Amino acid sequence: MGKLHADGWTRCLWLLVVAAGMPALTGCGPDPDFRELRLAGQRQMVAGNYAAARGLFRQAHEQIPESADNLHDLGDCCLYFAREEFQRRNAAAALREVDAAVEYYQRSINAHPGYSASLLGKNIALELKGQFEEAVRVAEWAAEFVGPSARQQVFLAAEMEQRGDLDAALLRYRQAVAMEPDSARAHRELGGFYLRTDRPQQAVEHLTRSYRLDPGQGDVAETLLELGAELPAVGARGMPTG
């Protein structure tokens, strides 16, 4: 019933915009600098050449070992190779890559506390390894030391929900709304949770609020209509009209 029924994470290994016009990395001249290596690695990732990308990021790592962005991308490369090894049923090799990914993500977090991409990447890596309890502990650390924010509470709530602790998940979703009552995302996530736990009346309440705050959410509108709710008229700043 609607796209919000989907219970899972939208996971992407990276979100980087690759700049154009990068100087060539071959031929005569001085060795490429950190930025050139990073851009070259990013382009290789876009092309799906993760082995080449990892090599370039490792060269960049030799120049600036504690770059949070570069450490994150090294973690992503390891995670990609771990998934490949899992698909080949080579568990030992996969776990070595997972361990390397966790180490890179953790170093990225140490260099830039609160780096959400590395926090998420570390949780994905830990889940691949089957360490669900550890994944939850990482999320709890983020909520305690990097916030508070609605985004981190939603992050933690989703971890709780995935492991089946629905009472704790509901508490965190509610905390997200309490922290940022004008957050369309917070109301959307709480409404989605109510929908997944078969409480349509509460789901409609919060999905309606989310839609008022951000009428551009087509999937929220679709879900509300499928639930038999009328879409509210919205005006300035998401306030109801009439």
Q: For position 4, what pLDDT does the model report?
A: 52
Final residue belonging to a domain, choices 107, 131, 155: 131
Note the pLDDT tens digit of each residue in 184-214: 999 999 999 999 999 999 999 999 999 999 9
Convert the pLDDT of each residue in 42-64 to its tens digit: 999 888 899 999 999 999 999 99
Within a domain: residue 14? no
Return per-residue pLDDT of the chain as tens, 242 residues: 454 543 333 333 333 222 222 333 333 344 689 999 999 999 998 888 999 999 999 999 999 999 999 999 999 999 999 988 888 888 888 889 999 999 999 999 999 988 888 998 999 999 888 887 788 888 888 777 766 688 888 988 988 898 888 998 999 999 999 999 999 999 999 999 999 999 999 999 999 999 999 999 999 999 999 999 988 876 544 444 43
Give the SS3 label for residue 240: strand
pLDDT of residue 208: 96
pLDDT of res. 99: 95
How many domains is the chain built from?
2
CA distance 144 to 156: 10
Q: Assess whether 107 and 195 both reside in one domain.
A: no
We report the CATH number of the domain holding residue 231 as 1.25.40.10
Residue 185: name the closest of 226, 217, 156 by CA.
Answer: 217
Does residue 203 lie within any of the structural domains? yes
| pLDDT score recorded for residue 3 | 47
Q: Is 2 part of a structural domain of the chain?
A: no
Distance (Å, whole) CA 192 – CA 5? 7
CA pair distance 188, 205, nearest whole angstrom: 10
Tell me whether residue 78 is in a domain. yes
Closest CA to 202 of 194, 212, 210: 194
Query: pLDDT at position 128, please?
Result: 86
Which of 96, 112, 131 lies at the terminal end of a domain, its last residue?
A: 131
- Residue 201: the pLDDT is 96
Structural domain containing residue 200: 139-242
Helices (H), the chain: 34-46, 50-63, 68-87, 91-111, 116-128, 132-145, 150-162, 166-179, 184-196, 200-213, 218-226
**Interatomic CA distance for residues 218 and 3, integer angstroms:** 10
- Contacts by 48-54, CB closer than 8 A, 24 or more apart: 50/77, 50/80, 50/81, 53/77, 54/78, 54/81
In a domain, 9, yes or no: no
pLDDT of residue 156: 86
Last residue of a domain, which of 131, 148, 170? 131
pLDDT score recorded for residue 15: 33
The answer to whether the CB of 193 falls within 8 A of the CB of 170 is yes
